[in-house]
Amino acid sequence: MGITIKGTRLKKFYKDYINLRSIIIFVMPLAISVLLFMLYNLSVTVENLSVSLIEQTIKKTETELDNFFHIVSEDVKITSQRGRTGLFYNLNPEILNPFFIPYIKNSKQVSSTLIGNSLGEE
């Protein structure tokens, strides 16, 4: 059962208003708008994923570094307290080596130590 167009008015309407040009004029702007909206949402999604991945990597790295250097920071606090008591006023290596050599040998985070004073002596 096909639709037959018998009247001249109806034929003229289809001929004048419903043709390929009319469809393109109405559909193309809508399709372009949808594609632009999708492109915008895609760029926002990519940006959000990038930020999330970078934040996740930073948190993981920060945790690993904190775990690695926590031991060193505690040892520096202890050494600082020893220095405040006057234990290191004499910068003689024979006196200071017994305090620092075991620390250097047993610490994987520290490979050397340098001691100085406010006078610039090391």
What's the pTM value of the predicted model, to 2 decimals? 0.46
pLDDT at position 51: 94
Q: What is the pLDDT of residues 12-54, one digit of tens each?
A: 766 666 667 777 788 888 999 999 999 999 999 999 999 999 9
In this prediction, residue 7 carries a pLDDT of: 59
Q: Does 1 score more than 50 pLDDT?
A: no
Q: In sequence order, what are the residues at sequence separation of 6 or more whose Cβ sits closer than 8 angstroms to the Cβ of residue 96?
A: 88, 90, 115
In the chain, domain spans: 8-106
* 109, 68 Cβ separation under 8 angstroms: yes
Q: Taking the CB of residue 88, how many other CB atoms lie within 10 A of it?
A: 19
**Average pLDDT, rounded, for the chain:** 79
Look up residue 10 and give its two tokens: 């109806």
